[in-house]
Chains A and B, each alone.
Chain A
Amino acid sequence: MLLVCPAGNLPGLIAAVDAGADAVYLGFRDQTNARAFAGLNFGDADLRAGVAYAQARGRKVYVALNTYPGPSRIAQWQGAVDRAAEFGADAIIAADAGLLAYAARTHPRLDRHLSVQGSATTQAALSWYHEHFGISRAVLPRVLSVQQVERICEQSPVPLEVFAFGSLCIMVEGRCQLSSYVTGQSPNRHGVCSPASFVRWEDHADGSRTVRLNSVLLDVYASGEAAGYPTVCKGRFVVGGETFHALEEPTSLNTLSLLPRLRSAGVAALKIEGRQRSSAYIRTVTRVWREAIDRLRQDADRWRELPEWNAALSAHAEGHQTTLGPYHRSWH
């Protein structure tokens, strides 16, 4: 089982490789990837250095090109595929069918992974992408229960990658227009959810804080209360007279306890979310998962999740809380 870790910049990539990632994924400094944040991602020099650093140590570099270009921007996205190939990346991670077709046609030797943004949740959908574009791996959306993951592993025409740890989208990836409904900018088209330029935090005299997204009140935090990401899905709203996290709590996915089951199911790769997070996050989370996977490989019968692993992961989780999320049926 490969460990695939995020890198928001060169120090992040080095941290991931040094901590034991089998592969790192990264993006360019534009809207071709779903973490199009200011100050994040890779320019040419960093990319060259990053690919060299990883490959010299036998690790792989995947380039995320997982947004959906409109008709006038497809040439730019195709250029990004060319760039990934030119810099010697091991694979691209893409969602748009037109872009996957271009990559298959133009760079047949560059591996193509289907992004989680492609929303493939069945053997039929995976077959469609495989038959059309020869994808060599697919990342499953974070909506399936572990039983469903096991079933789809049996039937899939391609090896599968699943999310192991990190921030959790409550909506099916690639099928959420909540950010776009409020701001006009979407993960699909602009590579951002709740863009920072639309987020307004306000501190009040009583110590409380409010957060708004383009004038829509997402939440009010009492003095000292931990705040979640300022996304629509993590806000507190009023439904039927009750105020609560109507869509999702600020929490992170942590599937450590499912590791043996995911391995038995034949999952090919585990993905850590968080290109927008610090190198410290990347280092800690990668180290924990590396150790957990290695111990499982060495002695599956005696494998137990260690409390110190979960303590380290929780310290880096959103709201310091973790959940098995969709893998656990009761979450739905």
Chain B
Amino acid sequence: MRLTLGPLQYFWPRRQVLDFYAESLDWPLDVVYLGETVCSKRRELNLRDWVGLAEQQTKAGREVVLSSLALIEAESELGALRRLAGLGNVRIEANDISAVQVCRRHGVPFVGGPSLNVYNLETLRLLQDDGLYRLVLNVEMGCELVAELRQAAAAAGCDLPELELIAWGRLPLSYSARCFTARALDLAKDQCGFRCIEYPDGLPLSTREGRHFLTINGVQMQGAENCDLLPEWTELAAAGIGLLRLYPQQHGTAQAVRRFDAVRGGAAVPPREPGCTAGYWSGLPGMQPPP
């Protein structure tokens, strides 16, 4: 299985982003997703910076994919995406149907991101006709739905595209037009002061009993814990998952990539990292600890 580095979901200072990706050049990765997926107001890096990072990663032998916003609301956001598509020779992760339409119009091959709602073969084939060459499974898609998808494809006599699964990092759960970081700081979104930059690993949200429950990341909500599907490695390979996505987190990303790569190289499958969930893979609710 190939290892991918998902798009950075948090707002980090420019220097930290550049250092992170420079460091990642040494990691055993096959695909790197770059770009801002959560909030268009986050502009520590401009398009030229991202393109520069893309060139570095390409030189290091990685497939580079530029990720779109998960929620596209403004014409300016669409315009930015059209400029990306117009660069030529790029691949885009479409995280919104708007992005699918832009890719289709420009003839750009695209990855269907996890916030596109692809739950069945009929939808998937339509997107393949539009240029989808890989699907990152929606967080809810566990082993059962993947098996069903495979059976449906076999019955229809068609090939599935490459399937990528979120295997490490915090799960992206929902998106809003409201910024929850700004709300927590009692700021209006339009005058947010870009304060989410103060929370490079998100802002923890707990229940009134003190249970860490969710993570606030601007307009996005994530789970509290990282998911770690390395213990399921053999099962994932058998299910036909072609790529495993690791999301950049403030801590532990390099070690996580190396742990996954070690198993890929033949090392014994280790136990789950302490405190991590198994996401939705086995069919349980995403937050539940695995049995």
Q: Which of A236-244, A273-281, A284-292 participates in binding chain B?
A: A236-244
Does the CB pair A214–B123 fall under 8 Å?
Answer: no
Chain A residues within 8 Å of B74, by CB = 148
Write the A94-136 contact mask toward B (1 if CB under 8 angstroms, else 0): 0111110110000000000000011111111101110010000
Known: A95-B117, A119-B96, A121-B73. A237 touches B149 (CB 8 A): no
Chain B residues within 8 Å of A183, by CB = 285
Chain B residues within 8 Å of A74, by CB = 120-122
Q: Which of B30-38, B206-214, B234-242 participates in binding chain A?
A: B206-214
Distance in angstroms from B194 CB to nearest chain A CB is: 15
Does the CB pair A216–B207 fall under 8 Å?
Answer: yes
Chain A residues within 8 Å of B223, by CB = 181
Known: A151-B75, A176-B174. A239 touches B184 (CB 8 A): yes
Does the CB pair A240–B203 fall under 8 Å?
Answer: yes
Does the CB pair B174–A239 fall under 8 Å?
Answer: no
Q: How far does the alpha carbon of A214 sit from the alpha carbon of B145 in the complex, in Å? A: 23
A69-93 contacts to B, CB under 8 A, are 69-72, 74
B241-291 contacts to A, CB under 8 A, are 280, 283-287
Does the CB pair B126–A97 fall under 8 Å?
Answer: yes
Contact with B119, one of A96, A127, A218, A330 (Cβ below 8 angstroms): A96
Does the CB pair B126–A172 fall under 8 Å?
Answer: no
Q: How far does the alpha carbon of A174 sit from the alpha carbon of B208 in the complex, in Å? A: 28
Tell me if B42 is interfacial: C-beta within 8 Å of chain A.
no
Contact with B207, one of A95, A186, A238, A332 (Cβ below 8 angstroms): A238
Does the CB pair B208–A236 fall under 8 Å?
Answer: yes
Contact with B175, one of A129, A171, A236 (Cβ below 8 angstroms): A171
Tell me if B66 is interfacial: C-beta within 8 Å of chain A.
no
Q: How far does the alpha carbon of A326 sit from the alpha carbon of B175 in the complex, in Å? A: 14
Chain A residues within 8 Å of B125, by CB = 98
Does the CB pair B174–A177 fall under 8 Å?
Answer: yes
Does the CB pair B285–A182 fall under 8 Å?
Answer: yes
Q: How far does the alpha carbon of A96 sit from the alpha carbon of B138 in the complex, in Å? A: 14
Does the CB pair B140–A71 fall under 8 Å?
Answer: no
Contact with B78, one of A124, A129, A170 (Cβ below 8 angstroms): A124
B151 nearest in chain A by CB position: A71
Distance in angstroms from A222 CB to nearest chain B CB is: 12
Tell me if B115 is interfacial: C-beta within 8 Å of chain A.
yes
Tell me if A246 is interfacial: C-beta within 8 Å of chain B.
yes
Q: How far does the alpha carbon of A237 sit from the alpha carbon of B91 in the complex, in Å? A: 40
Known: A144-B73, A219-B208, A246-B180. A181 touches B286 (CB 8 A): yes
A329 nearest in chain B by CB position: B190
4 shortest interchain CB distances as A-B pairs: A98-B122, A143-B177, A71-B148, A184-B285
Chain B residues in the interface with A (C-beta under 8 A): 70-75, 78, 96-102, 104, 115, 117, 119-127, 139-140, 145, 148-149, 151-152, 171, 173-180, 183-185, 188-190, 203-211, 213-214, 216, 221, 223, 280, 283-287
